Structures are given as C-alpha cells and as structure tokens.
Structure 1
Amino acid sequence: MPDSLTREITATSVVVLATTPAATLSCADGTLLDRISDQLVTLPVRDVQVLSSGNGLSSDLRGVAKLARVSTGPVAVLPADLVAHTEALALVLEHPARDSAALISHDPSTAPMRPPVRVEGGKVVAAGSSFHLVPEANATFRGVLQAGEADLGCLAEVAEELAELAETGRLGPVSPVEAIDLLLVGLVRYGVRMRAAAIGPLHSDRVTAQSAADSAIERLSEVDESRVRLNFAVKDDDGFFATHFVSVWSRYLIRPAARLRLTPNAITGISIGLAVLAAVWFSAGTREAQVAGAVLLYLSFVLDCLDGQVARYTRTFSPLGSWVDAMADRLKEYVVYVGLAIGYAAGLPWTGGGPGGIWYLAAAAMILQVVRHTIDFAFGGAVSDAARIGSSFARPARSLLESADGGRYSVPKQGMLGLAQRMERESVLRWMKKIIVLPIGERMALIAVTAAVFNARVTFLSLLVWGGVAALYSLAGRIARSTK
C-alpha cells in the first residue's frame, strides 16, 4: 500500500464543537471558528466536521458518538472557542502514534475552562469537570483530546452514556461548554490509556468573551513556536550524561539534519558506522588508537541521540524506527566489546595485556547486558499487556455518576518503591537514580573513559561491577512495582 494512502487511512478525523456563542467571537482571521479551521488545514487531519446545531449538550455528544462509530482512524474533539498555538494542537493531532491523548498543562491552577486532571507516568489517570472532582490533581486539561482507533468504540459508548445522563439531568447543571471535559472524564474512567501531551510554554486556552479572546491571541505572540518545537525534540527525561554532555550541543544539529533531509534511520546507520570504526581502532591496542576509538564512540552516541531528536522534531518516529534504534544500540555496544578484547589480547606493553581471560570478561559483560535488557523489555511488555487487558476486561468501568471522590486516591508507597518516588521529587537524588541504573549514555562514557585512560580489562570489570549493581536495583524495583 503506498505511504500516502496509508497516511490518509490513519489520519485523524476532527470534530469541532462550535455550539457555544464564543465560537463566533471575532479575531484577525474572522471568527474563532475560522481561526481554528485554518490551523487544522496545516495539520495532517483527514477531515473536519463542525457541530454547530446548538441543540444542547446531549446533541453534541451524540454527534461525537456517531462519528466515532463510523470512523476508520483516530477521532479528535476540540471546541471552537479554543485559542491555541498550532504547535500545541500538533502535540496531539500530529503525533505519529495516532494514539489516545489529551492536551494538558502541568500548571495545576484550575479555572472554569481549565478542569483539573492528575497525570502519572505520562498518562492522564484522573480527570474532572464541574461535576467530577479530582483529588491530588497536578495538571489541567487544555481542551483537545483524541481517541485512537482502538478506543473509538469506547469513545462512542462514553459519549452516548453521557448524553443519556445529561438528558435526564443526572449530571447536574452541566452545559454544552463542558462537553469535551466530560468526554475526557468518561474515557479515563473507562480505562483508556490517555497520553498526557504537555504544552510546556505553549498556550491553549478556552475563552468566553471578546476581551478574553483578544488577550489570549495576544499572548500567543509571546512564544516562539519554532524554538519550542526544537526544545520538545530534546528529551527532558534522558540520562545524566546524555542531558549534560550531548543534548546541550546536539540540539544545534537538528535543524541542519532536517534541512538535509537526513532520516532518523539514516542517522542511525551513520552512528553504527562510527561505532564499527571505534571498534576497529580499539582492536589496534595502542594508546593512540584507544583514544581515537573513545572519541569515535562518543560521536557515535551523539548521533544515537540525534536520530531520536530529529525523529521527534520532524514527527517521523515510528515503532519500527524505535525497534531499529534499540537493536542498533545493542549491535554497536557488542561490536565495541569485541574490538576492545582483540586490542587487549594483542598484549602490547602499555596495556599490560595478553589474552589473560579477557574474552571471558567480555563475554560476561555482554551476557550481563543481555540479562539487563531482558529485565527491562520483559517488564515493559508485561505492563503494556496488563494495561491493555485491564482497559478491556479486568478493570470494570468507573461510574460516571461518582462525583465526590471521582479520582483514584494515591496510596502512599512504602519501601523501595516509596524511596524511588521520593527520589524523583529531589533533583540531585533524581539524577542519582538515573545514573545508578547505568543507561546507555553512562555505559558509553564508562567505556570511552576507561578504554582511553586505562585498558580493556578495567573497562570490562567496571561494566560488570556497575552493571551488576544496576541489575539488582532494577530487578528490585520491578518486583516492588509488580507487587504494589
């Protein structure tokens, strides 16, 4: 199937709720409805349907349900009274995963048009409205949600149930303004995994009056959207070495790489080539060669970070690309192990080397890394499977009529899990937590420094000691999370 046709099939259909008077407020582009329509034209959406009947909340909700029933791709819902950066809309509508998501701000200051939500692990786990409360809210919903193709049936059911509840007055004095807020509440309570698309410094606000609309539009000019997009391309939760020794300057390579039309996979290929060259230099065994290999290994890791940054900047990342990148990381690391072992086994005077069991150390380091990756990937797969089963079978839907305690209270965590969560709240401890697990950035740095300054035996022993501690720490954490 041609790529263009595939994109057309999976592109998002958008429902614009233009049933409130604020949709006709004026702006430089005509009305707020005209403005949001012009923004959607610039995004990869398949079609836009405007609901403007004004027949009430239940009518709007049934219109959303009708589209969800017939759509063959993701469905997004947003209000016409929304004043937002196009880049903010793109965080939901242009994400290649085409998943279920909600636009949120980590600013927890709520307002009538900013209902509270609670975000945990990058997911919206509780959402509120004027009827539904959210204990321990830590963010606010900013007016855009999307249901992925797998969740369309749930969106339709939620919209229809909400319509019935609104018609019978069982939700209290809710108005059409709250239609999208109620949909988010319903999706979250039905167990849909809603990605929390955080706007960061961008703006996305709903307005009710002309003065508020003028003020919101004026605030948009205060933010450089292109710079924000560049900043979003750099992971904010990366490891210590990647954050402080790579991303601080690799960000300046993102735009040139995009202009040269270098794809993330092409950058991954160049990264592999540099790692192979590093292994060749390591195999020479001389000090000069070890230093050269260390420099090449560092540059290989820089490109390893850059491929993901370019993918996020151009929004061309995919599950296949992620898998290729992960496999490339393993390949590069193990090729470097072989080069180091060959160079040490040559027995050159400065290394103090010789075969001396170096291949056993190399094999042990490789096996330890395989075990560590197995722990991580197996746990990630188990969590994903549990969530998928839980949303469709194991966990029953929460009643939409629960109001006083609509959110799920967080139970204080004890033991190692509680310690890990406390570490996340402290900057220094959070970095220590990231370092102790020996992520790939720290591993590449450890290999480069020990190989350039000492020799391969020190490299492998360091990997075994630090890697062993990291494996025990990760295993204990996985067990704690699995039994919480």
Structure 2
Amino acid sequence: MPDSLTRESTATSVVLLATTPACKLSCADGTLLDRVTDQLATLPVREIQVVTPGGGLAADLRGIAKIARISAGTVAVLPADLVAHTEALALLLDHPARDSAALVSYEAAAAPMRPPVRVEGGEIVAAGSSFHVVPEANATFRGVLQAGESDLAALADIAEELAELADTGKLGPVTPVEAVDLLLVGLVRSGVAVRAAGLGPLHADRVAGQNAADAAVTRLAEVDEARVRLDLSIKENDGFFATFFVSTWTRHLIKPAVLIKVAPNTVTGASIGLAGLAAVWFSAGTQGGRLAGALLFYLSFALDCLDGQLARYTRTFSPLGAWADGMADRAKEYVVYVGLAIGFGGDEIWRLAVAAMILQVVRHTIDVTYAGAVADAGRVGALWGRPARSLLESADGGHAKGVLRLAQRMERDTVVRWLKKMIALPIGERTALIAITAAIWSARVTFLSLLCWGGVAALYQLGGRIARSAR
C-alpha cells in the first residue's frame, strides 16, 4: 500500500520503492529510506509515494501503474536501497526538460544490481535485467528512472504488462529488487526515448547488506559535489575546438557569473553583439580589421559556449532557450559572412559567400529533418504502434551491423573519435576556420575553405544518416 509524504507542489512526483530489506539498513541519517527521503526533500519534488512490501513484484508494479495513471507531470521511480549523491538525483529530478530519462554510469561493469544498458547518442537503446540480455553494453543503470508526462500512459501499460508476466512466471525468477530495472527495459523496448543521464564521477549504488551500505556512504564523501556540478555544466561530446580552446577557460567564468546574477540570455545577447562587431571590423577589409574581427568572433563563440554552461549549471535552460541559441548561432555566422564579403568586395566573393551559406543551410536541414523523423517515429512507436520488442525476448538482437557497427567500434578510439568530430565541422571548428583564414589570408580563402571542408562534412553527415536510417 502506498503512503503519501507530501510537500509543496513544485515539479516531479516520486515513487519510492521501499520494498526490499535493504531500505531499513542503518546509516548516519537513520535508515537508507530516511536518507533518500531527506535528499528528495531538498529537490523540486511535488510528492513522494512510498511503496511498502505487501504482495511481491507484481503488486509493486501494479502500484506504480496506478500512480502513473493518476499523476500529472513527471514521475520518477527509485528504490529506497539507493546510496547516491544528492547531485546525482538532481541530474534527473532537477532537470528542466522533465523528460523520460535514467541514471547511468559509463565506468563500472554490470552486476546484479547494476544491469547493463547500451547508450547511443545520449539515449538508451537497449536495457537489461536478469532475464533480458544486452550485447555490446557500454553502461550500467543505477536505479533512478524518470518518465515524462507524455510517457506516463506507456509507463502504466508496461508496468501492468510486466505484472502479468511476473504473475505467470514468464520472466523467470525475477524479484521485487528488479522492479525499476524491468520498467526501464519495458520503456526502451516499447519505443520510448529515454535520455541517458550520465553520473560522471558521482556515485549512485544500490546495496544489499550493511557492509555494502557503509562502504557506499564512505565513497560519497570522497567526491566534491560542487566541483562535479561545475564539471557537468561543460557540454559532453562537444567539438575539439570548443573542448580544448574555449571550455578550458570559460568554466572559470561560471561561478562569477552566477554570483553577480548574470542570466544565460544576457550572455547570449552579448555574444550576438560581439559577432555584429566582428562583422563590422571584417567589412573594413584591412589586415587590422580582419585581425580584430577574428578576435571578436572567437570571443563571441566563447560567450556562446558560456551561456550554455551557465544554463546547465543553474539548471535554467529550456527548449525555447535552446531554439533561440541555435537561431542566434546561425544569425551570427551569416552576418560575419556578409561582413567578410563587404570587406573583400567584388561579385565573385558574394557568389562564394552565398554558396557557403547555402551549404550550411543544407547541412542544418539534414540534421533537423533527420532528428524530426526520429522523433516522429519514436512517438508513433510509443503511442500507437506495437512494442518495438517483446518483453519476453531474453536477448536483444537489434545491435548495429555493417557500417554503423564499425562506426561504433571506432568511437572507442580517442583519436579517431576526435577526428570524426572535426570532420563533421561543428560550429567551433567553423569559428576557428573563419577566424584563422580571415586573419592570416583573406575572405576568399575563408569561403573556399568553408565550401571544401563543408562539402566533405555534408557527405559524411548524409552517409551517417542513411546508415542509421537503413538500420
């Protein structure tokens, strides 16, 4: 039977599974259940539904289904035998997207209470349990699962289906310990997009005995959560130039910006202003003007990185803000094209500038249309289509093949991974290319470089999209 512990309505509803003996293990804060409850009280949680033992795995799953059907907003499910940093819980519960997501670690090997998952492109594409196998797993699930509001019906349906399978013994000897693991498997196999929230150096471990609980609590003290929060504000999987020539120093501006209450949108505005000034200097056409323009354009990109870092650190980013930031990126780049063309002069340079602009529009169109198609397919699969994979299939045969499989293996090599990022010519590399070629040579060299490198990048993108679509 679920007991309710309510607090002021703010965001997510939490289903806390106090269904295993380990939740009563002792720690400095009382029991592990007390510890997790106290942590949740510091986060934007609307209410906590505590599910207590009373009928086995099937009863627990039906209780979760009932809560999912009557809840409004995001619902998170986590076990009370979890020993985790508060900052780790915040990666899901305080994330502005309020989407479906799961807490994962990319470091530890799979274990009975650390089921394997496979992550591709920041999304969990395969999840395991004691019954479900995940070939080529590259991460482990750490017990915290969140379902976005649009996925609550799917969560409820999956929980009820799993309850029926558990009642009839079709899932093998699964126990209440695996309730949240099975829910993740069900969401992924039904086609729901589940974001992988990486722990980084933070810890989140489920425990089964007092010694394990004591050791897990001790490990928490070894990590500086404030420093980790700063580290996690730096964008993962960013481009080479942004990672090594911008984020290495903009990270030191985050806390001062927070201290003086600078909003991310203010930083975005300053970035746009610097890009406009860069275009003005480029339009002068002199060597000094190009040098000044290159420096200002580099600083504009640095502020563009900083606004995202600041938004992630303060957890104030939103889909609207991301859209506005993306639009600003395009506008800044194209106004610089205009400044360079004015400064160089002549009909030929304008043709090159227009060609470079069209090429970038085509590249962005490839990305946007592919992402939209994937999102549409995911929505259809989750809401109207049959589950992508049966919950009774113990092995996952949907792993990548051919070119895509080779690409995934290449990702494991650090040098190759950075080369692949550079070939794609992300915005950081384009900024560096524009600034360096304009400062040292001329606008003509800049546009020719953009066309050559951009053409290779477009073919690379198109090939990758075709390979993934064929899969």
Distance 2:464 2:165 in 1: 43
Structure 1 unaligned segments of length 5 or more: list them. Answer: 1-7, 346-354
What is the aligned partner in structure 2 of residue 77 from structure 1? 77
1:432 to 419, 422, 432: 419
Tell me which amino acid in the other structure corresponds to 1:296.
Answer: L
- Aligned equivalents of 2:307 and 2:378: distance in 1? 29
Alpha-carbon separation, structure 2, partners of 1:67 and 1:422? 41
What per-residue deviation string (whole Å, max 9, x for no partner) do you get for residues 378-419 of structure 1?
Answer: 12211221222223334535332333x2x23424223xx455
Query: Does the CA-based 8 Å contact 1:274-1:299 persist in structure 2?
Result: yes
| Deviation for aligned residue 1:135 | 2.6
Indicate which of 384, 387, 400 corresponds to 2:378: 387
Distance of aligned partners of 1:391 and 1:446 in 2 relative to their CA distance in 1, 3 Å threshold: same
Does 2:345 align with 1:358?
no
Q: Indicate conservation of the 8 Å contact 2:110/2:116, yes or no.
A: yes
C-alpha distance in 2, partners of 1:17/1:281? 61
Deviations 1:179-232, CA, capped at 9 Å, x for gaps: 212222222222221111111211111112222111110110011111111111
CA distance in 1, matches of 2:208, 2:463: 51
Give a deviation string over 1:447-482, Cα, whole Å, max 9, x none: 111111112122122212222222222223222322
- Runs of 4+ deviating beyond 6 Å: none
Alignment CA distance shift 1:311-1:194 (3 Å): same
Q: What code does the residue aligned with 1:255 have? A: K
Count, aligned residues: 464
CA distance in 2, matches of 1:338, 1:32: 61
**Separation in 2 of the partners of 1:460 and 1:116?**
47
Aligned CA distance change for structure 1 residues 128 and 419 (closer, same or farther; 3 Å): closer
1:408 aligns with 2:397: yes
Which residue pairs with 1:26 in the alignment?
Answer: 26
Between stretches 11-20 and 364-373, larger displacement belongs to 364-373
Report the CA distance shift for 1:9/1:469 in structure 2 as closer, same or farther (over 3 A).
farther
The reply to whether residue 158 of structure 1 matches residue 164 of structure 2 is no
CA distance in 2 between partners of 1:79 and 1:206 (Å): 8
Aligned residue type for 2:363 = R
SS at match of 1:375: helix
Instruction: Find the residue that maps to 1:399 and give its secondary structure.
Output: coil
1:399 aligns with 2:390: yes
- Aligned counterpart, 1:467: 454
Residue 350 of structure 1 corresponds to none
Deviations 1:304-347 (A, max 9, x none): 111111111111111101110111011111111111122222xx
* Structure 2 equivalent of residue 371 of structure 1: 362
Which ranges in structure 2 are unaligned for 5 or more consecutive residues? 1-7
Give the conservation status (yes or no) of the 8 Å contact 1:282–1:340: yes
263-272 or 372-381, larger mean C-alpha shift: 372-381
SS at structure 2 position matched to 1:113: coil
Give the 3-state SS of the residue equivalent to 2:291 in structure 1.
helix
Alpha-carbon contact 1:298-1:448 (below 8 Å) kept: yes
Aligned twin of 2:327: 327
Deviation at 1:238, TM superposition (A): 0.9
Using a 3 Å threshold, how does the CA distance of structure 1 residues 397 and 297 change in structure 2: closer, same or farther? Answer: closer
CA–CA separation in structure 2 for the residues paired with 1:24 and 1:396: 37
Q: Aligned pair in 2 of structure 1 residues 323, 108: CA closer, same or farther (>3 Å)?
A: same
Alignment of structure 1 residues 262-341 onto 2, 5 Å: 262-341=262-341
Tell me how far 1:49 sits from its aligned partner.
Answer: 1.1
Asked if residue 251 in structure 1 is aligned to residue 251 in structure 2, the reply is yes
| Mapped contact 1:9–1:72 kept (Cα < 8 A) | no
Query: Cα distance, 1:85 vs. partner?
Result: 0.5
Contact 2:103–2:196 (Cα < 8 Å) also in 1: yes
Once residues 65 and 469 of structure 2 are traced to their aligned partners in structure 1, the CA distance between those partners, rounded to angstroms, is 36
Q: Are the structure 2 counterparts of residues 411 and 370 from structure 1 closer, same or farther at C-alpha, using a change threshold of 3 Å?
A: closer
d(CA) in 1 for partners of 2:363 and 2:392? 45
Partner SS state of residue 78, structure 2: strand
Amino acid corresponding to residue 393 of structure 1 in structure 2: W
Cα pair 1:108 1:116 within 8 Å, conserved: no
Partner of 1:51: 51
Q: Deviations over 1:24-52 (max 9, x none)?
A: 11111111111101100111111111112
Q: Relative to 1, partners in 2 of residues 1:218 and 1:380: Cα closer, same or farther, differing over 3 Å? A: same
Separation of aligned partners in 2, 1:88 and 1:176: 23
Partner of 2:125: 125
Aligned mates of 2:170, 2:432 — CA distance in 1: 60
Read off the aligned partner of 1:337 and give its amino acid letter. Y
What secondary structure does 1:357 align onto?
A: helix
Displacement of 1:77 = 0.6
SS at match of 1:143: strand
SS at match of 1:15: strand
Q: Is the 8 A contact 1:132 1:402 kept in 2?
A: yes
Instruction: Choose 48-57 or 11-20, whichever is displaced more.
Output: 48-57
Distance 1:208 1:98 in 2: 30
State the partner residue of 2:410.
423
> 2 CA distance for matches of 1:468 and 1:134?
37
| Matching residue of 2:5 | none
Give, in whole Å, the separation in 2 of the partners of 1:297 and 1:344. 17
SS in 1 for 2:352: helix
Residue 9 (structure 1) shift? 7.6
Code of the residue aligned with 1:240 in structure 2: it is F
Q: Check 1:462–1:130 CA distance in 2 against 1; reply closer, same or farther (3 A cut).
A: closer
Paired residue for 2:442?
A: 455
